[in-house]
Amino acid sequence: MIVKLDRRQFATGAGALALGFGTTALAQDAAVAPQPPPPLWQQEVDKILKGAKPVPGKILLDIPEIAENGNTVPFTVSVENPMTEANYVQTLHVIAAGNPQPGIAIFRFTPDSGRAAVSSRMRLARTQDVIVIAALSSGSFVLAKRPVKVTIGGCGG
Amino acid sequence: MQKPRVKLPEQAKVGEIIEIKTLISHVMETGQRKDQEGKTVPRMIINSFTAKYAGKEVFSAELQPGISANPYLAFYLRVPGPGEFEFTWIDDSGDKSVERLKLNVVA
């Protein structure tokens, strides 16, 4: 994405930047440096896991290693699971760690699904990791992560 | 919304796991993009998809802005018996598209 700045915008921007440095210096003087908030994707992941630790499990994320067009990247996620009333995949979260809005989709299955698998197409703004988290009916989570190289970003800008 | 396209197997047996493929035309505007005047184009996406079979919800999806334009979704169903599908897509404006299709269940 290319951001065009005119001279005035640049001047105010530079001013704000200088101001920013000023406050940082002040904060450090107070010896309590403010913690930067975790990245958006981390917040999303934390919201899903709520402190739980993902257990090892078979979850397959089929996505191109190199995506030529970030506007439409096909993917398939499948979780090895019997899909019975007693043990099934309830939800599947798909997150793109490097997108301005990391959420891709939340899929909800039922024992009637027969197979915990779904295919769709996602937008990827740049080269990044794609994360999938399966929430099982037992209350545990399974997580998988795959890097995807993006040649042309699907940022739309 | 435009009429969606749904592909079901021509026939299925009870207990068989079948794949359902769906496609619908939609801009899926993310709310991040700027127009030529630099104004943000407001978000307008299909945010919800639901698949019911024989009146029971079997699969659903909460779509977020990271889903590509003209959303494609493929998923599975273990056929519990004869019945009809009801697929519903809803976008941010509340606009709805409903498609009903009977599954040809054979003995």
For residues A14 and A49, membership in a common domain is answered with no
For residues A89 and A105, membership in a common domain is answered with yes
Question: Which residue range forms the structural domain that includes residue A118?
Answer: 40-152
Q: What is the structure's pLDDT at A35?
A: 84
Asked if B66 lies within 8 A of A114 by C-beta distance, the reply is no
Residue type for A75, please?
F
The domain tally of chain A equals: 2
Asked if B57 lies within 8 A of A120 by C-beta distance, the reply is no
Tokens of B75: 């998923």
Return the residue of A nearest to B57 by Cα. Answer: A110
Percentages of chain B per state (helix, strand, coil), in multiples of 5: 0, 55, 45
**Cα–Cα distance for residue pair A137/A110, rounded to 1 Å:** 10
Contacts of B44 (CB under 8 A, 6+ apart): B27, B28, B29, B31, B91, B92, B93
For residues A9 and A81, membership in a common domain is answered with no
Tens of pLDDT, residue by residue over A19-77, are 444 444 444 455 567 788 899 999 999 999 999 999 888 999 999 999 999 999 999 99
Q: What is the structure's pLDDT at A24?
A: 47
pTM comes to: 0.84
Residue among A105, A110, A112 whose CB faces B64 most closely? A105
Kindly indicate the confidence band of residue A131, based on its pLDDT and cuts at 50, 70 and 90: very high
- Assign residue A71 the CATH number of its domain: 2.60.40.2470
User: Best interface-test mutation with B: which of A63, A112, A130 has the largest number of B CBs within 10 A?
Assistant: A112
**Cα–Cα distance for residue pair A65/A73, rounded to 1 Å:** 10
For residues A49 and A93, membership in a common domain is answered with yes
Q: What is the structure's pLDDT at B107?
A: 80
Domain annotation covers residue A77: yes
For residues A118 and A58, membership in a common domain is answered with yes
**Count of A-B CB contacts under 8 Å:** 106
For residues A20 and A70, membership in a common domain is answered with no
B80 burial (CB, 10 Å; 0-12 / 13-18 / 19+) is middle
- Assign residue B14 the CATH number of its domain: 2.60.40.10
For residues A26 and A99, membership in a common domain is answered with no
Domain annotation covers residue A123: yes
Q: What is the mean pLDDT of residues B62-78?
A: 97
ipTM of the complex: 0.95
* Phi, psi angles (nearest 5°) of residue A111: -55, -30
**Cα–Cα distance for residue pair A91/A107, rounded to 1 Å:** 5
For residues A22 and A54, membership in a common domain is answered with no
Question: Which residue range forms the structural domain that includes residue B74?
Answer: 5-106
For residues A12 and A72, membership in a common domain is answered with no
Give the rounded percent of residues in chain B with a pLDDT score beyond 90: 93
Give the rounded percent of residues in chain A with a pLDDT score beyond 90: 69
Q: What is the structure's pLDDT at A157?
A: 42
User: Best interface-test mutation with B: which of A107, A129, A130 has the largest number of B CBs within 10 A?
Assistant: A107
Residue among A113, A121, A156 whose CB faces B72 most closely? A121
